[in-house]
């Protein structure tokens, strides 16, 4: 299991949000870790917006990678308590949480 910890900005706002993207595998020939998580973030944010009757995002999302961890290097286990600490969280079973709540 691997995970990517990142920050992201939506549009021209100065707000910075925090995210964690957990997956079982990340290929060595990716197009950048930021691009690996970007589609999931957009999908999750748009689903959240849909549930709250907010229009889909029409603005740019910028991802900044803070760290990448693989269990090939170090143990990566964390409890589910950490989900509430992130603005965006994609779990190993592909569930997406926004502000600690499952969408």
Look up residue 79 and give its two tokens: 């409890």
More confident residue, 70 or 12: 12
Given this model, what pLDDT does residue 59 score? 87
**d(C-alpha 85, C-alpha 89), whole Å:** 9
C-alpha 18: how far from chain center: 8
Those residues whose C-beta lies under 8 Å from the C-beta of residue 38, and which sit 6 or more positions away, are: 61, 63
- Residue range 71-96: average pLDDT? 83
d(CA 41, CA 60): 12
Q: How confident is the model at residue 26 (pLDDT cuts 50, 70, 90)?
A: confident
pTM: 0.86
Q: How many helices (H) and strands (E) does the chain have?
A: 1, 6
Separation between Cα atoms, residue 98 and residue 61, nearest integer Å: 15
pLDDT of 71 higher than 80: no
């Amino acid at each position: 299991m691997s995970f990517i910890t990142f920050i992201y900005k939506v549009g021209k706002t100065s707000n910075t949000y925090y995210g964690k993207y957990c997956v079982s595998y990340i290929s060595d020939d990716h197009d950048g870790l930021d691009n690996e998580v970007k589609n999931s973030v957009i999908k999750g944010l748009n689903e959240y917006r849909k549930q709250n009757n907010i229009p889909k995002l029409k603005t740019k999302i910028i991802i900044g990678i803070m760290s990448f961890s693989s269990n090939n290097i170090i143990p990566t286990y964390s409890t589910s308590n950490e989900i509430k600490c992130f603005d965006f969280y994609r779990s190993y079973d592909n569930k997406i949480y926004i502000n600690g709540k499952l969408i």
